[in-house]
Amino acid sequence: MNTNAFASLDRGGRARTKATVAVAVVMLAVTLATGCSILRAAPDKSRYFVLSSTDAAAAAAPARARSDIHFGLGPVKLPGYLGTQALVRSNTGGSIEYVPNTFWAEPISDGFARALLYRTGARIGTPHAVAFPWYSTTRVDWKVPVDVLRFEATVDGRAVLVARWSVTRVSDGKVVAGAESVFEETAGDDPVLIVDALSRCVDRLADAIATAVTGSAAFAAPAVKSPSGPGDSGRLPR
> How many structural domains is the chain composed of?
2
Same domain, yes or no: 75 and 162? yes
pTM over 0.85: no
CA distance 18 to 91: 60
CA distance 91 to 81: 13
Report the pLDDT value the prediction gives residue 40, as an integer from 0 to 100: 67
Same domain, yes or no: 89 and 6? no
The SS3 call for residue 24 is helix
Report the pLDDT value the prediction gives residue 223, as an integer from 0 to 100: 47
Same domain, yes or no: 125 and 202? yes
CA distance 188 to 200: 14
Same domain, yes or no: 92 and 67? yes
Same domain, yes or no: 33 and 92? no
Same domain, yes or no: 85 and 171? yes
The answer to the question of residue 233 being in a domain is no
Same domain, yes or no: 32 and 112? no
Same domain, yes or no: 154 and 37? no
The answer to the question of residue 145 being in a domain is yes
**Closest C-alpha to 66, from 25, 28, 123:** 123
Report the pLDDT value the prediction gives residue 44, as an integer from 0 to 100: 81
Range of the domain at 99: 47-218
Same domain, yes or no: 55 and 83? yes
Report the pLDDT value the prediction gives residue 217, as an integer from 0 to 100: 84
Confidence of residue 154 (pLDDT cuts 50, 70, 90): very high
Contacts of 27 (CB under 8 A, 6+ apart): none
Confidence of residue 192 (pLDDT cuts 50, 70, 90): very high
The answer to the question of residue 229 being in a domain is no
- Taking CA atoms, 19 is separated from 12, 51, 191, in Å, by 11, 63, 54
Res 31 pLDDT > 80: no
Report the pLDDT value the prediction gives residue 42, as an integer from 0 to 100: 76
CA distance 190 to 101: 11
Mean pLDDT over residues 78-99, rounded?
Answer: 93
Same domain, yes or no: 134 and 67? yes
Average pLDDT, the chain: 82
Same domain, yes or no: 29 and 2? yes
